[in-house]
Structure 1
Amino acid sequence: MEKLTNYFGQNIKDKKIVITGGTTGIGKAIADVLVSLGGLVLIFGRDEKDFKNAVADIKKQFPKSEVYGIPADVTKKEDIDKIFEIVDGKLGGIDILVNNAALAAPGLTQGTYDDYKYIIDTNITGYLAFAQEASLRMKEQKSGHIINIGSMSAESRTAKSTIYVATKTAIRGFSTSLRKELNPLGIKVSLIEPGAVTSDMQTDPKAVQHEKVEKLEMLEAYDIAMSTLFCLSQPKRCDIVSMQIRPHLQII
């Protein structure tokens, strides 16, 4: 049997990785894990302070790491173009895309048109745009892996988050169809759907979130990062098509 340390690092070292929304929460945790295994990582988020803090923290943890990126917004075409200029220039290509940038959203009756249009542009159009740009590059090398971070909201469909449910249900369908389109090109597609996870998207204060973790009612961001690593670590013959991770006591 192969050593597990080799198994989990086999598809990460020296791979060129882009993580949308990689400066906080799940995205930052994924960046930490993949950098620790030798991945060349590009991260970005909308907030410049969060971006600087994330890069500084990664450099502190892993002084020899290579981290790229700029503050950017997935809803802006000019920002998408800037990210892929870095991909093509400094990063030297892309092997792995983690589509993660997303916003929480309330019920339909609580938001304005402009509010939910921006959320849809972030949670859906952003995923499509980055998957398109990544796949155009991956198909030339006949390899690559796209991971879409979805949500168990696509299954629970609560009344309090209608808009968010709509976007994450769309990502579930998109991921299924995208895999059928890209697999013949040598590109893998995986969907990861977390349950409740500690993050800035949660309405509860941090202290309450930590209490829920202790009560097994909420996940840590690193739980999702390790699930992402598991998907990425499979041999070429093996696809993790979809994965659901729920807190032990979150009954959906």
Structure 2
Amino acid sequence: MGQGDAGWAGRKRSGTLLIMVDRVVLLEEVTRTYGKGATEVAVLRRVSVGFSRGSFTAVMGPSGSGKSTLLQCASGLDRPDSGGGGGHIAGEDITRFGEKELAVLRRDRVGVIFQAFNLVPSLTAWQNVSLPSSLARRRPEPSRVRELLHRVGLAGREGHRPAQLSGGQQQRVAIARALLGRPEVLFADEPTGALDRRTGHEVLALLREAVDAFGQTVVMVTHDPEAAARADSVLFLTDGRIVDVLDRPSVDQIGLRLGGRR
């Protein structure tokens, strides 16, 4: 996220912290509630935020603050409440898309990495990486698949199935799969949550490389201050609202902010 003629500067408006930038992804006044009547819970409350091209943003906050819902609405995996604001990816108003259009957009322009990997057990690493292209009835470029598997450190393991790979290796397959279509933006929901410390650092280095070397945009939900410190900016959510932003913070600064101190 950034400032300048091409960007938006963070400011307060209508009680919402607005971070407006030269953006690949934009949410405007987005609200998301679940349940009805006495069971209704507002998970996002008029959230406005933008993510710029070639940036790495971490999203943090306590359990139930709306982190994953923010990511799901931004990526088109979930829809904001009707009349509760809208979202854009690469200039496309995704709130106007039908389910088929959203599926195509997610397939062609968005990459998503989940903590649970979501690999197909019966497929090899090569086949799992190629799966989005195969589902779109497009022949994946063998050189591209090979390059990605090499970049994530899995050269020589192309024929291994998930059960033959460690958790960290499975997450690397998931990252390679997400990068296959050269997405406009890469969303990662707790990508290191199920990994040991060393493997988690390797996965974060891959995400950082995707930004620095290849100009990808990465938005990562995390609870880990060390992981968040790899990002360019950190957003903090509380009760469904963005309450603060830190640019290039240290682990200590993030820890202090999470502890409720400035």
Question: Which bracket does the TM-score occupy, shorter chain normalised?
Answer: 0.3 to 0.5
Q: TM-score, normalised by structure 1?
A: 0.35
Query: Relative contact order (alpha carbons < 8 A, sep ≥ 6): 1 or 2 greater?
Result: 2
Select the structure of larger CA radius of gyration. Answer: 2
